[in-house]
């Protein structure tokens, strides 16, 4: 495990003076996504173009207003409720329209804890799985050309999905999208495995780009408080004293996550909450499941035929 001090000082060696890094944060208005955006601005002394994609415009405005001037002038917010795939299509065109045709770092951390049962959107997807899996997939898929453009320019191109590497479980290939056995446990583990499998396939298709699935560990964010599930909220308050003892601050977590991003090579890497590479530990995929989930997702996100 890298010491926090090592992780902090490591960023200094990341020389980006020859180009202006472009970093996109999907789900970047709160929690770890926000902390990673703020850390990146510190690391680069504000020499960065930060794009925040999220649901909460007020939070984004507050966050951008607090950035140092150099970063603030270049920072942008794109509003998107990514529980609906059509909203993501709109957001992707908006990003293209703003001239974001090259991306060096794409950090996806959008979250929504499961409700007490399946909540279907008018697109037929469960809201939680849409935000935590399908939407992440659709953004990574839709921004692939921009990542390739960074590679072509001889610059880093790295994607990190912050969710739960190593914390997944077996998935039901006859019930992709979890329409039948919906439960908090099932969905949480399935989301983690789906994220593994999607990055595996992206890494196969785009061998020039680095893909990282990270588990941030226990971090003190308000995601459970905002849960639609009374059960989760209750558990959170009951465990609060314990959580506070073991939880890392989002700021410390962000440093470890960046350390993992900068250390990732081409292909897929999986890292735990300490920033360590866990290899294929608790990997619940096969060649078949990677392919079947990919096919299912092309349909579910209405991305078939797209680039
Ligand atoms: C990261 O590196 C920069 C540039 O050397 C340095 O000024 C900054 O303090 C570092 N950030 C942190 C959080 O240590
Ligand atoms: C949006 O962010 C603001 C400012 O941080 C916060 O007060 C508000 O509760 C958030 N709204 C939602 C719906 O989360
Ligand atoms: C989901 O939960 C059911 C029991 O409610 C179990 O039989 C099934 O194996 C679980 N599926 C997954 C993918 O975890
Ligand atoms: C889980 O789904 C399977 C079909 O995939 C079904 O046979 C079984 O009854 C379900 N179990 C529960 C607890 O809903």
Position 225 pLDDT exceeds 60:
no
Find the farthest-apart pair of alpha carbons in the chain and give their distance in angstroms, rounded: 52
- Using pLDDT thresholds of 50, 70 and 90, give the confidence band for residue 304: confident
Position 228 pLDDT exceeds 70:
no
Pocket of ligand 2 (CB under 6 A): 56, 58-59, 62
| CA dist., res. 155 & res. 259, Å (int) | 17
Q: Is residue 307 part of a domain?
A: no
User: Cβ contacts of residue 146 below 8 Å, gap of 6+?
Assistant: 95, 100, 101, 102, 103
Q: Is residue 296 part of a domain?
A: yes
Taking CA atoms only, the protein residue closest to ligand 1 atom 12 is: 8
| CA dist., res. 165 & res. 214, Å (int) | 5
C-alpha 17 to ligand 1 mean position (Å): 14
pLDDT at 307: 46
Q: Is residue 33 part of a domain?
A: yes
The number of distinct structural domains making up the chain is 1
Over residues 219-241, the mean pLDDT reads: 62
Percent of the chain with pLDDT over 70: 86
pLDDT at 115: 75
Q: Is residue 233 part of a domain?
A: no
Closest ligand 3 atom to Cα of 178: 13
List, for residues 163-190, the tens digit of each pLDDT value: 999 999 999 999 999 999 998 889 999 9
Closest ligand 4 atom to Cα of 172: 5
List, for residues 127-171, the tens digit of each pLDDT value: 999 999 999 999 999 999 999 999 999 999 999 999 999 999 999
Domain, as residue range, for 50:
4-220+249-300
C-alpha 223 to ligand 3 mean position (Å): 24
Q: Is residue 276 part of a domain?
A: yes
- Using pLDDT thresholds of 50, 70 and 90, give the confidence band for residue 18: confident
Q: Of 87, 91, 129, nearest to 112 (Cα)?
A: 129
Structure tokens at 185: 């446990």
Over residues 256-274, the mean pLDDT reads: 92
- pTM of this prediction exceeds 0.85: yes
Q: What is the CATH number of the domain that holds 154?
A: 3.40.50.720
Q: Is residue 43 part of a domain?
A: yes
Q: Is residue 42 part of a domain?
A: yes
Q: Of 124, 119, 185, 140, nearest to 27 (Cα)?
A: 140
List, for residues 36-52, the tens digit of each pLDDT value: 999 999 999 999 999 99
Q: Of 92, 74, 80, 176, nearest to 139 (Cα)?
A: 92
User: Cβ contacts of residue 211 below 8 Å, gap of 6+?
Assistant: 158, 159, 160, 161, 199, 202, 203, 264, 267, 268, 269
Q: Is residue 132 part of a domain?
A: yes
Q: Of 217, 202, 216, 215, nearest to 268 (Cα)?
A: 202
- Nearest ligand to the C-alpha of residue 174? 4
């Amino acid at each position: 495990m890298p010491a926090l001090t090592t992780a902090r000082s490591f960023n200094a060696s990341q020389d980006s003076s020859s180009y202006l890094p472009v970093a996109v944060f999907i789900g970047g208005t709160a929690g770890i996504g926000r902390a990673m955006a703020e850390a990146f601005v510190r690391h680069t002394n504000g020499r960065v173009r930060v794009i925040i994609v999220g649901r909460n415009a007020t939070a984004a405005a507050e966050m951008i207003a607090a950035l140092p001037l150099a970063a603030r002038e270049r920072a942008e917010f794109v509003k998107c409720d990514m529980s609906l795939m059509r909203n993501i299509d709109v957001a992707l065109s908006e990003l293209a329209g703003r001239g974001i045709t090259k991306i060096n770092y794409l950090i996806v951390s959008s979250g929504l804890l499961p409700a007490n049962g399946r909540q279907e959107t008018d697109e037929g997807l469960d809201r939680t799985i849409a935000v935590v899996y399908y939407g992440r997939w659709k953004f990574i898929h839709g921004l692939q050309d921009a990542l390739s453009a960074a590679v072509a320019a001889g610059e880093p191109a790295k994607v990190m999905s912050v969710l739960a590497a190593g914390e997944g479980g077996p998935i039901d290939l006859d019930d992709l999208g979890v329409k039948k056995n919906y439960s908090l446990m099932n969905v949480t583990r399935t989301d983690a495995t789906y994220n593994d499998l999607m990055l595996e396939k992206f890494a196969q298709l785009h061998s020039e780009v680095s893909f990282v699935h990270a588990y941030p560990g226990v971090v003190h964010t308000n995601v459970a408080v905002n849960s639609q599930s009374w059960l989760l909220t209750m558990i959170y308050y009951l465990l609060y004293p314990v959580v506070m003892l073991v939880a890392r601050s989002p700021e410390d977590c962000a440093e470890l996550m960046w350390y993992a991003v900068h250390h990732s090579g081409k292909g897929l890497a999986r890292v735990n909450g300490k920033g360590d590479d866990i290899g294929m530990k608790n990997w619940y995929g096969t060649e078949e499941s990677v392919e079947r989930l990919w096919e299912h997702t092309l349909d579910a996100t209405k991305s078939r035929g797209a680039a």
